Chain A
Amino acid sequence: MSARVLVGVKRVIDYAVKIRVKPDHTGVVTDGVKHSMNPFCEIAVEEAVKLKEKKLVKEVVAVSCGPQQAQGKEIDLQIISNKRMTVGFILQETIRTALAMGADRGIHVEVSGKDYETLGPLQVSKILAALAKKEEANLIILGKQAIDDDCNQTGQMTAALLDWPQGTFASEVTMDRDMLKVVREIDGGLETIKIKMPAVLTADLRLNTPRYATLPNIMKAKKKKITTVKPGDLGVDVSSRLEVLNVEEPPQRLAGVKVETVDDLVGKLKEAGKI
Chain B
Amino acid sequence: MAASRALAKVVRLGSHSIHRSRILKFNGLQRRGIAACIDPSLGLTDEQKEFQKVAFDFAANEMAPHMAEWDQKEIFPVDAMRKAAQLGFGGIYVNPDVGGSGLSRLDTSIIFEALSTGCVSTTAYISIHNMCAWMIDTFGNNEQREKYCPDLCSMQKLASYCLTEPGSGSDAASLLTSAKLQGDHYILNGSKAFISGGGDTDVYVVMCRTGGKGPKGISCLVVEKETLGLSFGKKEKKIGWNSQPTRAVIFEDCAVPVTNRLGAEGEGFNIAMKGLNGGRINIASCSLGAAHAAVLLARDYLCVRKQFGETLSNSQYLQFKLAEMATKLVASRLMVRQAALSLQEGRPDAVALCSMAKLFVTDECFSICNQALQMHGGYGYLKDYAVQQYLRDIRVHQILEGTNEVMRMIIARSLLAES
List residues of A whose CB falls within 8 A of some B CB.
14-18, 32, 34, 36-37, 39-40, 42-43, 74, 77-82, 84-86, 88, 92-93, 96-97, 100, 205-206, 209-216, 218-219, 221-222
Contacts and interface: CB of A to CB of B under 8 A. Distances in A.
A84 to B, nearest CB: 6
A32 B29 CA distance: 19
B43 A81 contact: yes
Given A18-B19, A80-B337, A96-B46, A212 B57 contact: yes
A80 B45 contact: no
Interface in B13-36: 18-19, 29-30, 32, 34, 36
What are the 6 A-B residue pairs with the smallest beta carbon separation, nearest first? A215-B88, A77-B43, A39-B3, A16-B29, A215-B101, A16-B32
Contact of A216 (B32, B53, B101, B104): B101
A81 B51 contact: no
A100 B57 CA distance: 15
Given A80-B341, A212-B58, 5 more contacts: A14-B34, A34-B32, A85-B45, A88-B46, A219-B47
B39 interface: yes
Contacts of A215: 51, 54, 87-89, 92, 101, 103
A136 B42 CA distance: 39
B7 interface: yes
Contacts of A39: 3-4, 7
Contact of B86 (A36, A214, A218): A214
Contacts of B338: 80
Nearest to B31: A16
A214 B329 CA distance: 28
Contacts of B5: 209
Contacts of B29: 15-16
Nearest to B41: A34
Contacts of B399: none
Interface string B100-129: 011110100000000000000000000000
A213 B48 CA distance: 13
Contacts of A37: 3
Contacts of B54: 212-215, 218
A92 B34 CA distance: 21
A267 B101 CA distance: 69
A16 B117 CA distance: 16
Contacts of A93: 46, 49-50
Contact of B87 (A81, A96, A212): A212
B417 interface: no
B258 interface: no
B273 interface: no
Given A42-B1, A214-B88, A215-B89, A15 B18 contact: yes
A88 B96 CA distance: 26
A34 B30 CA distance: 13
- Which of B8, B39, B338 is packed against the most chain A CB atoms within 10 Å? B8
B44 interface: yes
A211 B1 CA distance: 6
A78 B96 contact: no
B6 interface: yes
Contacts of A84: 45, 47
B343 to A, nearest CB: 11
Contact of A210 (B4, B19, B102): B4
16 contacts: A16-B29, A16-B32, A34-B32, A80-B341, A81-B337, A93-B49, A93-B50, A96-B50, A97-B50, A100-B50, A209-B4, A214-B87, A214-B88, A215-B88, A215-B103, A216-B96
Most chain B beta-carbon neighbours within 10 Å: one of A17, A34, A81, A206: A81
Contacts of A92: 46
A1 B47 CA distance: 33
Contacts of B34: 14, 16-17, 34
A82 B46 contact: no
Contacts of A82: 45, 104, 106, 341, 344
Interface in B50-99: 50-51, 53-54, 57-58, 86-89, 92, 96
B416 to A, nearest CB: 28
B11 interface: yes
B228 interface: no
B32 A14 contact: yes
B334 interface: yes
Nearest to B111: A215
A169 to B, nearest CB: 13
A51 B89 CA distance: 27
A81 B88 contact: no
A210 B1 contact: yes
A145 B104 CA distance: 38
Contact of B47 (A77, A79, A214, A218): A218
A78 B8 CA distance: 36
A88 B45 CA distance: 9
Contacts of B96: 216
A214 B106 CA distance: 17
B4 A80 contact: no
A86 B45 contact: yes
Given A14-B32, A214-B86, A42 B3 contact: yes
Nearest to A77: B43
A216 B100 CA distance: 9
Nearest to A40: B4
A15 B57 CA distance: 13
B107 to A, nearest CB: 8
Contacts of B104: 82
B24 to A, nearest CB: 15
A15 B341 contact: no
Given A84-B47, A215-B88, A215-B103, A32 B36 contact: yes
Interface string B189-233: 000000000000000000000000000000000000000000000
Contacts of B88: 214-216
Contacts of B51: 215, 218
A81 B48 contact: yes
A14 B62 CA distance: 19
